[in-house]
Chains A and B, each alone.
Chain A
């Protein structure tokens, strides 16, 4: 049904009001009510989602992104179990550089680091000094002697959970809010937009900080704080898209056919704007992860000694010039995570958008 109308909308030229089109009686019957909904052979021949899948896997970037995301998720789940260390376990092995079995013989990742001190560079191997000949920290250790490998993947878990939460918030709260507000317009829109303005007018930093001060810091609180703030951007996009589309002919057509408002919003319009919506979701993921990182920066994020990629970057940040290897793993994992999300978003967007043709 939705597809049929979409198709109808897209063949009508933009600046043509449909004057040349001769209505036939069948136009005014909701197709689902009759068996003749199969008439549109062009679309009925293959399932919509089958085509989406085909288009998606056709896109090299999207596949790369998906593979990366799978790898990262795999490590986020199993990475911490691959070492004998826990994310919070401290040891006397402070600030050790990365050392990996096998590769160390090639002269890299052998646990030595060249420290740039104010009195000149100094080559130093903490493993040799500490007589830790059989100890291997793949990503090195931090100032407490905690294993950065374990911490990085534990942190990636937190970021993935935040990403999922942000997506849900965007999709459930933000999108519905924006679509409803935009579609109904008039008084509904005005009241809903006033609310958005008030909610959004207060700096996010203030709301989130206050919430974390009032509530107990932790994952639930952070997600709750994100819930109060993250949906706003999405609601704006959804509303803007709605404003662009709601005056279009296929919507009028659907209205004429006596379709309910929610049917039009979610079945007719939503598929047409899924591209920008997914792009926005993918943008809100880094925003959400950055918000969490920022909170960790001011000491209100995930409580220590737990960690997220954000708090690991903040921690490594202070020793950036002293022990640069401490900040690199969380940054790379974070960047890869974002890269995957973005590539997948692009692939999905192109695959989902009925207006984009193959090739």
Chain B
């Protein structure tokens, strides 16, 4: 049960990296896939010849989803599935282009004031599917809902902490009325947004569904049923929802003829099918009941030679977090180092996960944060290999040293993991690797549903925890900020004054404005984290997918909107 809960803002250039890096051999750039490729499956060979010259089909694109939609209310939704569907039928001010860059959608143009504190958006003539025009008030209403304590949106911090919209934090805390939010409709077609501080990635927030408009009149006419059926949803986007029930396992969208950019949309519709069983999903795909599907690592052997197989970046970094506060053994730096040296990350991804995930040797995962010189912050995975990469001999040395310091000869540790497929697989391998490399160590695995595992870690009630983090914004700080003393995600309660000083300097101090100086300092911070083995980074997640060769132009993004179908073409078979 994978829950895609990602809040990320990805800069354009990073996207190309992420997709290419993840795919390595398997990824085929969907927008340029050669549909006449000859080595397709035996069943497809005959049909793909015709597909080469094929016209856009009037067929729906049949899409497999792993989990049902949690909510179609843009201000309540938190998971990737819901975001994808909401974005199918709703446009925000901006949209994601192929590379994940923010380009104009409902906003026709925009200006930013010199001090960076005021954004003005000029809206185009777009229409809701009930004929009403999309106005600036729709945005004001929606954004006020997002911070309204009565609505209690889980993503309200997108407006406050991340978006820095004026008064957002105070409204969420209940100190100010929601009408004081720094967003105003100057007129029907002009939206003005005031910020507390300049936010460089503000435009790329605008394609995030929490910022999507809601028509107040329509919303109020639906009362409590907003977003629960085709009748209670309103479209201003590429598709219109025409069959849906809450938690539906199958639902459908049709092309929106009144969409402002209707010419761009080639698909007749989207046909979603929720299938939780990967076996069933793959068989349905092979039988032609699906055009695209997710593949479980166990099935990769079956499909890895298939040109329709691809690996798509999912954005999360998985890592092992030691509880340095409560477990004296893990407070010992040598023991922690021994553990990180004992982990064979390559074996985890190539032998067990098989879904294209990449081993990670840095505290900040690659492929999401781009520096002032345009390069990926963690492109160089070799940088810290000498302090964390698998090395049985080093591991044994540090282990012995640690044991001597502690005056012990053996120890047993408990590792808490989610009751999902991938974490359990990883834990099984980790257990074996650690026990084999470190004599006298016994690892027990405690499997818990995710909600409970998170609570246990937040309460400090764990020894080793297998957890993950998806980036909130396109800066290494989204990861490095977690290890500051008393940060709520610093589950191990690690504390280092030097580290705190660097982070403070980079956030609010002198370096906040010095981009390249700050970048260098962040490497210093990362160095401390890796040297002291504060966390043991494991891998950056990818998803293995299958996509029919007659489908082109599906845009994959590891964050925010996982899949976008505006440019997708499905040629006749």
Complexed CA–CA distance, A89 and B428 (Å): 10
Complexed CA–CA distance, A89 and B469 (Å): 30
Q: Which residues does chain A contribute within 8 Å of B352, judged by CB atoms?
A: 143-144
Instruction: Let me know if A321 and B428 touch, CB within 8 A.
Output: no
Decide if A90 is an interface residue (CB 8 Å cutoff).
yes
Q: Which residues does chain A contribute within 8 Å of B308, judged by CB atoms?
A: 118
Q: Which of A118, A145, A303, A319 contacts B41 (CB 8 A)?
A: A118
Decide if A3 is an interface residue (CB 8 Å cutoff).
no
What 0/1 readout, one digit per residue, does chain A (57-100) give for beta carbons within 8 Å of chain B?
00000000000000000000000000000001110101100000
Instruction: Let me know if B445 and A321 touch, CB within 8 A.
Output: no
What 0/1 readout, one digit per residue, does chain A (268-312) give for beta carbons within 8 Å of chain B?
000000000000000000000000000000111001110000000
> Min CB distance, A88 to chain B, in Å?
7
Complexed CA–CA distance, A304 and B424 (Å): 8
Decide if A266 is an interface residue (CB 8 Å cutoff).
no
Q: B350: nearest residue on chain A (CB-CB)?
A: A94
Decide if A120 is an interface residue (CB 8 Å cutoff).
yes
Q: A298: nearest residue on chain B (CB-CB)?
A: B419
Complexed CA–CA distance, A318 and B449 (Å): 20
- List 7 extra interface pairs beyond A217-B447, A299-B419, A304-B424, CB under 8 A: A90-B432, A95-B301, A115-B301, A119-B306, A120-B41, A298-B419, A319-B298
Instruction: Let me know if B432 and A317 touch, CB within 8 A.
Output: no
Complexed CA–CA distance, A119 and B352 (Å): 22
Instruction: Let me know if B428 and A304 touch, CB within 8 A.
Output: yes
Instruction: Let me know if B302 and A118 touch, CB within 8 A.
Output: yes
Decide if B156 is an interface residue (CB 8 Å cutoff).
no
Instruction: Let me know if A118 and B303 touch, CB within 8 A.
Output: yes
Known: A120-B41, A303-B444. A318 touches B298 (CB 8 A): yes
Complexed CA–CA distance, A303 and B428 (Å): 10
Q: Which residues does chain A contribute within 8 Å of B279, judged by CB atoms?
A: 317-318, 320-321
Known: A94-B351, A319-B299, A321-B279. A117 touches B305 (CB 8 A): yes
* CB-contacts of B153-202 with A (<8 A): none
Decide if A322 is an interface residue (CB 8 Å cutoff).
yes
Decide if A323 is an interface residue (CB 8 Å cutoff).
yes
Decide if B50 is an interface residue (CB 8 Å cutoff).
no
Q: Which of B302, B424, B446, B448 contacts A321 (CB 8 A)?
A: B302
Known: A117-B305, A305-B432. A143 touches B447 (CB 8 A): no
Instruction: Let me know if B278 and A318 touch, CB within 8 A.
Output: yes
Complexed CA–CA distance, A304 and B428 (Å): 7
Decide if B254 is an interface residue (CB 8 Å cutoff).
no
> Min CB distance, B67 to chain A, in Å?
15
Interface residues of A, Cβ cutoff 8 Å to B = 88-90, 92, 94-95, 115-120, 122, 143-145, 213, 216-217, 298-300, 303-305, 317-323
> Min CB distance, B293 to chain A, in Å?
11
Q: Which residues does chain B contribute within 8 Å of A217, judged by CB atoms?
A: 446-447
Complexed CA–CA distance, A183 and B263 (Å): 79
A-B contact pairs, 28 of them (CB 8 A): A89-B432, A94-B351, A116-B302, A117-B301, A117-B304, A118-B41, A118-B546, A119-B39, A119-B40, A119-B42, A119-B305, A122-B305, A143-B351, A144-B428, A216-B446, A217-B446, A217-B447, A299-B419, A304-B427, A304-B431, A304-B445, A304-B447, A305-B428, A305-B432, A318-B278, A318-B279, A319-B299, A321-B302
Complexed CA–CA distance, A357 and B237 (Å): 79
Q: Which residues does chain A contribute within 8 Å of B302, judged by CB atoms?
A: 115-118, 321-322
Complexed CA–CA distance, A299 and B447 (Å): 7
**Which applies to chain A's interface (DSSP): helix, strand, loop or mixed?**
loop
What 0/1 readout, one digit per residue, does chain B (273-315) give for beta carbons within 8 Å of chain A?
0000011001100100000000010110111111011000000
Q: Which residues does chain A contribute within 8 Å of B419, judged by CB atoms?
A: 298-300
Complexed CA–CA distance, A319 and B305 (Å): 17
Decide if B452 is an interface residue (CB 8 Å cutoff).
yes
Complexed CA–CA distance, A317 and B279 (Å): 8
* CB-contacts of B439-478 with A (<8 A): 444-449, 452
Instruction: Let me know if B299 and A119 touch, CB within 8 A.
Output: no
Known: A118-B302, A322-B299. A299 touches B424 (CB 8 A): yes
Instruction: Let me know if B448 and A213 touch, CB within 8 A.
Output: yes
Instruction: Let me know if B432 and A322 touch, CB within 8 A.
Output: no
> Min CB distance, A123 to chain B, in Å?
13
Q: Identify the interface centre among B298, B431, B452: most chain A CB within 10 Å of its CB.
A: B298
Complexed CA–CA distance, A151 and B298 (Å): 19
Q: Which of B303, B431, B448, B449 contacts A305 (CB 8 A)?
A: B431
Q: Which residues does chain B contribute within 8 Å of A118, judged by CB atoms?
A: 41, 286, 302-303, 306, 308-309, 546
Q: Which residues does chain B contribute within 8 Å of A94, judged by CB atoms?
A: 351
Decide if B554 is an interface residue (CB 8 Å cutoff).
no
Q: B305: nearest residue on chain A (CB-CB)?
A: A119
> Min CB distance, A143 to chain B, in Å?
6
Complexed CA–CA distance, A122 and B303 (Å): 11
Q: Which residues does chain B contribute within 8 Å of A115, judged by CB atoms?
A: 301-302
Q: Which residues does chain A contribute within 8 Å of B41, judged by CB atoms?
A: 118-120
Decide if B429 is an interface residue (CB 8 Å cutoff).
yes
Complexed CA–CA distance, A323 and B420 (Å): 21
Instruction: Let me know if A143 and B298 touch, CB within 8 A.
Output: yes
> Min CB distance, A206 to chain B, in Å?
13
Q: B352: nearest residue on chain A (CB-CB)?
A: A143
Complexed CA–CA distance, A207 and B330 (Å): 35
Complexed CA–CA distance, A145 and B351 (Å): 9
> Min CB distance, B433 to chain A, in Å?
8
Q: B423: nearest residue on chain A (CB-CB)?
A: A299
Known: A90-B429, A303-B445. A321 touches B306 (CB 8 A): no
Q: Which residues does chain A contribute within 8 Å of B351, judged by CB atoms?
A: 92, 94, 143-145
